[in-house]
């Protein structure tokens, strides 16, 4: 596609429920990243996929967070047993390399 797409754009859930956020990277981009942006704060790195290498999960805040990527295409970020502090905008980015990342519009997650 023309850019990185994410779905849903907005998600409201109840505390304790599981959520899945989806990211479709730019076609041909081998790298995919997930970031979290809490209200009024900068972006926090969560996880990074590069080709067939083991993902860099060093930014995941707890074991309730996980992500999968199928080949060099779609990625899903899953948050289990959501907590109110998980409320944030979750941003996905992809790149063909060299660190130049193109960002999607984000998914705004609200945990009630």
User: Residues in the site for other proteins, rule: CB under 8 A?
Assistant: 31, 33, 35, 41-45, 48, 50, 56, 58-59, 91, 93, 95, 97-106
Q: What is the DSSP letter of 55?
A: P
Query: Distance of CA 51 to CAs 54, 56, 112, Å?
Result: 8, 12, 36
| Minimum CB–partner distance for residue 63 and other proteins (Å) | 20
| Minimum CB–partner distance for residue 81 and other proteins (Å) | 26
Tally Cβ neighbours within 10 Å of residue 30: 16
Token duo for residue 3: 């850019």
| Closer CB to other proteins, 20 or 56, in the complex | 56
| Closer CB to other proteins, 20 or 44, in the complex | 44
């Amino acid at each position: 596609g023309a850019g990185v797409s994410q779905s849903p754009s907005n998600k409201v859930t109840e505390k304790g429920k599981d959520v899945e956020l989806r990211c479709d990277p730019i076609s041909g981009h081998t790298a995919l990243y997930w970031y979290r942006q809490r209200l009024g704060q900068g972006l926090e790195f969560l996880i990074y996929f590069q080709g067939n290498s083991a993902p860099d999960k060093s930014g995941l805040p707890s074991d309730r967070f996980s992500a999968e990527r199928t080949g060099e295409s779609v990625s899903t970020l899953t948050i289990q047993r959501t907590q109110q502090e998980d409320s944030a905008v979750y941003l996905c980015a992809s790149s063909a390399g060299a660190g130049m990342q193109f960002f999607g519009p984000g998914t705004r997650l609200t945990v009630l």
